């Protein structure tokens, strides 16, 4: 069972929900927490994992042997990212744009392309209490978050269909790193706030999860702060509101000092356990995190 926690914009409380959901369920089933916000990972600030393993993630970037290249242009034709440019006199690789797909190497008719590793970041894994933990750190200057997100998600590979729950903390927004983070999830929780900005970005996020065919529900954070347009939208679209977390200064103060809401506020522990029960019921999962309706995702 893979649950993604996402939001159309930053600052809605997505990581707060993801972290505290994991903490509320800790010990009731095996949990693997994946912080896929590789540009700004911050779940570790609340989970305090002991990192046991760190691995550099590289992309295979093409290198052209000019002595073999005849300038046919096939590599440039196949590259969807304009990362390789073929001229009569020279073929140029732009490593910053290359996604390491290997297409140009495969299709070069003259065998003129080899590949060289380019570091894009690192993946760290460890444990936070009974929770298995993984996150990625994108190298400064690297613009290629999706391959690193994929590397984080691969740390949950091989767990099998009966091995509990994977909680994915996705990056904010609706761009490629978000798609890489949530694709194949059994359920996506969209965290928003009851404001015009929150509604606008929730609508974008709903479009995305529907495009990816992922069932979704909404958590309204800071409920009571703004208006009821988010609730009206969810009602008109048939999207369940799974939980409303009240706008309360004491929650903000707890967050600001790096505290854990479920430890300081028992009512939120109960509420997050209730959130899991609703997700389990609507996604066809057993309470121990085993997904029935959808197969474990191919990541
Ligand atoms: S496909 Fe190969 S031979 Fe053709 S331009 Fe590219 S590198 Fe050169
Ligand atoms: S490896 Fe893929 S992305 Fe990179 S230059 Fe070749 S075709 Fe383009």
> pLDDT tier at 20 (50, 70, 90 boundaries)?
very high
pLDDT at 142: 86
CA of 39 relative to ligand 2 center, distance in Å? 22
Compute the distance from residue 19 Cα to the ligand 2 centre, in Å.
36
Q: Average of pLDDT values for 39-56?
A: 96
Q: What is the pLDDT of residues 245-294, one digit of tens each?
A: 999 999 999 999 989 999 999 999 999 999 999 999 887 666 566 655 44
Q: In whole angstroms, how large is the CA radius of gyration of the chain?
A: 21
Show me where the domains of the chain are located: 2-56+121-283, 57-119
Nearest atom, ligand 2, residue 105 CA: 6
- Beta-carbon count within 10 A of 184 CB: 17
CATH architecture of 2-56+121-283: 3-Layer(aba) Sandwich (3.40)
Higher-confidence residue of 292 and 130: namely: 130
Tell whether ligand 1 has an atom less than 6 A from the beta carbon of residue 286: no
C-alpha distance from residue 9 to each of 85, 96, 131 (Å): 35, 26, 27
Residue nearest to atom 2 of ligand 1 (CA): 108
- Is 69 near ligand 1, meaning CB less than 6 Å away? yes
CB atoms under 10 Å from CB of 157, counted, come to: 11
Q: What percent of the chain has pLDDT over 70?
A: 93
10 pLDDT tier (thresholds 50, 70, 90): confident
Provide the pLDDT for residue 295.
44
Nearest-5° Cα angle at 144, 138 to 147: 85
How far from 122 is each of 51, 89, 140, 142, CA to CA, in Å?
Answer: 12, 37, 11, 12
H or E stretch including 56? strand 50-64
- Per-residue model confidence (pLDDT) at position 112: 96
51 CB neighbour count, 10 Å cutoff = 14
Q: Tell me, what's the pLDDT at 91? A: 96
The greatest distance separating any two alpha carbons of the chain, rounded to the nearest whole angstrom, comes to 69
Using the mean position of ligand 1's atoms as its centre, give its distance from the Cα of residue 72 in Å.
5
- Is residue 160 pLDDT above 70, yes or no? no
Q: Please check whether the domain covering 57-119 is classified as CATH 3.30.930.10.
A: no
| Residue 144 banded pLDDT, cuts 50, 70, 90 | confident
Q: What gap in Å lies between CA 212 and CA 64, rounded to an integer? A: 36
Distance CA 13, CA 268 (A): 14
Residue 299 pLDDT greater than 60, yes or no: no
Please report the sign of the dihedral spanned by the C-alpha atoms of residue 197, residue 200, residue 204, residue 210.
positive
Give the C-alpha separation, 112 to 252, whole Å.
Answer: 58
pLDDT per position as a tens digit, 71-112: 999 999 999 999 999 998 899 999 989 989 999 999 999 999
- The whole-angstrom separation of Cα 106 and Cα 101 is 10
At residue 81, the pLDDT reads 93
């Amino acid at each position: 069972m893979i649950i993604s926690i996402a939001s159309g914009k930053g600052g809605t409380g997505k990581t707060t929900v993801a972290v505290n959901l994991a903490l509320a369920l800790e010990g009731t089933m095996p949990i693997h927490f994946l912080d896929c916000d590789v540009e700004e990972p911050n779940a570790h600030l609340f989970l305090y994992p002991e990192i046991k393993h760190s691995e550099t993630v590289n992309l295979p970037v093409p290198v052209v042997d000019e002595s073999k290249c005849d300038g046919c242009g096939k590599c440039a034709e196949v590259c969807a990212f304009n990362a390789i440019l073929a001229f009569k006199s020279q073929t140029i690789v732009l490593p910053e744009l290359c996604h390491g797909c290997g297409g140009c190497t495969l299709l070069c008719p003259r065998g003129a392309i080899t590949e060289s590793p380019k570091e894009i970041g690192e993946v760290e894994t460890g444990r936070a209490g009974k929770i298995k933990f993984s996150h990625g750190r994108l190298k400064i200057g690297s613009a290629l978050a999706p391959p690193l997100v994929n590397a984080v998600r691969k740390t949950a590979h091989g767990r099998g269909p009966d091995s509990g729950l994977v909680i994915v903390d996705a990056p904010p927004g609706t761009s490629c790193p978000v798609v890489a983070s949530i694709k194949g999830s059994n359920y996506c929780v969209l965290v928003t706030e009851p404001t015009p900005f929150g509604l606008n970005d929730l609508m974008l996020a709903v479009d995305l999860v529907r495009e990816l065919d992922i069932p979704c529900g909404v958590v309204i954070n800071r409920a009571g702060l703004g208006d009821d347009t988010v609730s009206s939208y969810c009602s008109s679209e048939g999207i369940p509101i799974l939980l409303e977390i009240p706008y309360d200064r004491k929650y903000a103060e707890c967050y600001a000092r790096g505290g854990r809401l479920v430890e300081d506020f028992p009512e939120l522990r109960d509420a997050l356990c209730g959130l899991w029960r609703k997700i389990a019921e609507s996604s066809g999962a057993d309470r121990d995190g085993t997904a029935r309706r959808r197969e474990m995702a191919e990541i």
